[in-house]
Amino acid sequence: MSRTRFTRRLPAAAAAAGLALAVAACGGGSSSSSDGATPAAADQLKPNADLSQQTLDITVWDGYTPKELPEKAKAELKIKDVQIQTHDTNETAMTKLTAPGDSGIDVAFVSGQYAQALNEQGLLEPIHHELIPNLANLYPEATQLSYDKGNKYSVPYTWGTTGICYRSDLVKSEPTSWNDLLKPPAWADKKVTMLATERWLALPALKSLGYSINTDKDEEIEKAKELLLAQKPHLLRYDDTTFGDRLVSGEAVMAEAWDGWCPTTDPKGNIKFAVPKEGSDLWVDTMVIMKSSKNKEAAHALINYILSPEIHSWAAENINYKVPNKAAMEQVKIAKGSLLGITPAELLNGEAAIDLGPASTKYSRLQQDIKAS
């Protein structure tokens, strides 16, 4: 498992409170609120614009795109200049993108619910599908994501789910339910880890109770908290970054995990991944174009370039995340045990996280209460 992947998936899952605060700072909330802003109207773009007169600034997680992307984009798309900035979390990206004035960013990589929040504040340029013919490479399922059906303002880059990663040789029975983590048997006592980021901390309890991962109902969140408080004394620890290493060493026998981080290709072949019977989530990381960009034609050209099979397959091959690009995935050699083989239909069984606006702070409080107990 690469350290790059460790520094990547934590951001996409983290900082629900940061999202709410960042959006609040620019004056709004989610679509469920009565005062949300109207998404921006599309600009008139030139299909044959001279890209040699345009430059691009991109913000993305470190190691999430090929190092040579800027030089290749300049050479092959004839863009004048391409610069990469990095952010370590969605929260950091939101701080950049929602600050007063022009962020200077043309293209941003953010998770789906964060793209939704940006769009609701009128900060995104609608996607001009005619300028991105490689959208045709996407799986049909990638056009039906709940936070942005039809890819109106975002283009999916990677996607996956959350489940139970476990040592098949150290468990007495293979886990099938979130309750196997929430109420671990005696042989797994103090040998279980949980994700600590707010929405993902709550996910197993919410799903085990039959609730939506997007609930904003106080009574449902309270019941989930009760389960998590009862679980805490039986945990090894909360761990968003090193649970894979702990499974490999045998210190942990089960872990709540993002699929791309579960080391199922470990040479010993004894690490497995299961999506519990109560269901799970569907997380998506996206590419968006800022409304403030003065280089929108180049931004569309870059996204179209990334969606080419040769470029997009890099993500699956190098950071072990599935990409929602049928043509790209057909080029990927999937190793034995790899979770890259999970199908789009299976992924769409998961519930996509959406922006909860001010209600996101309820999950921040839940996390704080769990930590303080």
Query: What's the pLDDT score for residue 307?
Result: 98
d(CA 166, CA 296): 45
Query: What's the pLDDT score for residue 336?
Result: 79
271-274: strand order across its sheet = 237-238, 192-194, 254-258, 162-167, 271-274
Query: What's the pLDDT score for residue 11?
Result: 38
Q: How many CB atoms lie within 10 A of CB 172?
A: 9
Residue type at position 61: W
Query: What's the pLDDT score for residue 25?
Result: 37
% of the chain surpassing 90 pLDDT: 81
Instruction: Enter the DSSP assignment of 14.
Output: -
Is the pLDDT assigned to residue 371 strictly greater than 60?
Answer: yes
d(CA 17, CA 172): 38
Q: Which residue has the higher pLDDT, 364 or 42?
A: 364
d(CA 139, CA 277): 25
* pLDDT band for position 36 (cuts 50, 70, 90): very low
pLDDT tens-digit series, residues 85-123: 999 888 899 999 999 988 999 999 999 999 999 999 999
DSSP code string of 109-146 = EEEHHHHHHHHHTT-BPPP-GGG-GGGGGB-GGGG--T
What domains, with CATH codes, occur in the chain? 55-159+283-351 (3.40.190.10), 160-282+358-372 (3.40.190.10)
pLDDT tens-digit series, residues 319-330: 889 999 999 999
Of 33-37, 64-68, 223-227, 312-316, the one with minimum mean pLDDT is 33-37
Is the pLDDT assigned to residue 28 strictly greater than 70?
Answer: no
The residue-averaged pLDDT of 333-354 equals 91
* pLDDT band for position 14 (cuts 50, 70, 90): very low
Is the pLDDT assigned to residue 33 strictly greater than 50?
Answer: no
Is the pLDDT assigned to residue 30 strictly greater than 50?
Answer: no
Q: How many CB atoms lie within 10 A of CB 187?
A: 11
Q: Which two structure tokens, joined as six digits, stand for 91? A: 């929260």
Query: What's the pLDDT score for residue 219?
Result: 98
pLDDT tens-digit series, residues 159-175: 999 999 999 999 999 99
Which residue, chain included where needed, has tokens 């490479």? 137
